Amino acid sequence: MSSPTPQPAKLLVKRQFYTFAEPPQTMQLDSGAQLGPITLAYETLGKLNQERSNAVLILHAFSGDSHVAGYLTQEDTRPGWWDSMVGPGKAIDTNIYFVVCINILGSCAGSTGPASINPATGDFWALTFPMVTIGDMVRAQKHLIDHLGITKLLSLVGGSVGGMQVLQWCVDYPHMVRSAIPLATTSRHSAQAIAFNEVARQAIMADPAWNMGDYYNGPGPTHGLAVARMIGHVTYLSDEAMREKFGRRLHTGSLSFNFSGDFQVESYLHHQGKKFVDRFDANSLLYITKAADYFDLEREGGNLLINPDLAAVSFLVISFSSDWLYPTYQSKNIVSALKKNGSDVSFCEIDAQWGHDAFLLPNARLHGLISGFLARMRHEHSIQ
């Protein structure tokens, strides 16, 4: 009788926390408000080399967290959200790179946000939490990167709202960045994207249990949050993906002639909404979607990506053919602006049927592009 094939050891990671901006040294936000203390949850994989030159900062999308890859415990059954991309021998190879992923300011996965306790009052921040922007998120991240002793990042990588952070990092701290990989993102939210976010916010605020954001001692707006997630999930998929995955197939086998949900796609959305309620905070969704709506690198008739300081930064901009939330023309606008700086800019539209979420799914072409680009950056900057 043959012995069972041994399973590979799990890659274990540890969630860490960094607190800064202790009063009176608070951090000023773009709104003019002051915030502090601020705690950021983060995780690292790999080792920082002696020159501290092999760091790759991964920025997560709006509902993501710092748990990008690996497992937090031996008992975990699901790895981090980008485990297919990040790890030993993978496209972002943690045998080579020191990977950092930080939970964004305003979120609910360990970093300071509306679900945190306001130390000045001893109560939840809720809607007394100040409005934050993508710029504020990046400013907070820089405090942590400085704390880690990293003065120059080999690369920034992020998709969707994470891609917005990539671009904001380049605009705000170009001298700290060697290269950047914005995926499935935009330099400003379109009216359509703002509209979907507003409908999601209204779904939460219309739930009586939202209680003007003061719900932490009760059940909270579970129905509104689930509907908000359902709305968002529709924008993450594509017509082709829905047709392939669900078509008009029935969930129960026959029509019910009531409103219980006859179709598989309805059942899927209900499931996604319920899962989301179990892990995310409704107020955080309000704050982060508003930050994404405020994001605009082309405000006041200019374009902040057109900046001679960005000439030394290399870019790999990637879009996906079926992404209708941030369609390819928006990535091409980013490329066009960056080329005006004389920047080294590579662009690729990947043919993928899964819509906006395609950047999160295993894809051999995406993995090859990112792996090859990072290897080129290492070679050009003589990084071991």
Residues sharing a CB contact under 8 Å with residue 230, sequence separation 6 or more, in sequence order: 269, 270, 272, 273
The question of whether 323 is a catalytic residue gets the answer yes
Cβ-Cβ contacts under 8 Å for 146 (sequence gap 6 or more):
none
Whole-angstrom distance, CA of residue 320 vs CA of residue 354: 9
Q: Which tokens in the block code for residue 149?
A: 């002793």
Q: Are 74 and 12 contacting, i.e. CB atoms less than 8 angstroms apart?
A: yes
| Alpha carbon 206 to chain centroid, angstroms | 26
Distance (Å, whole) CA 268 – CA 270? 5
Alpha-carbon distance of 352 to 370, in angstroms, equals 16
Strands 38-45 and 16-20: antiparallel
Distance (Å, whole) CA 229 – CA 77: 23
- Only one residue has tokens 């079926």, namely 322
Q: 63, 65, 356, 357: which one is catalytic? A: 356
- Candidate list 189, 323, 331, 343, residue with the active-site label: 323
| CA 242/CA 245 separation, integer angstroms | 5
Q: DSSP H helical segments within 249-327, as ranges?
A: 264-277, 282-294
How far apart are the two ends of the chain, measured CA to CA in Å?
46
The question of whether 160 is a catalytic residue gets the answer: yes
Q: Is 356 considered catalytic here?
A: yes
Catalytically annotated residue among 116, 155, 160, 343: 160
Cβ 124 vs Cβ 114: under 8 Å: yes
What tokens appear for 348 in the block? 């690729």
Residues designated catalytic: 160, 323, 356
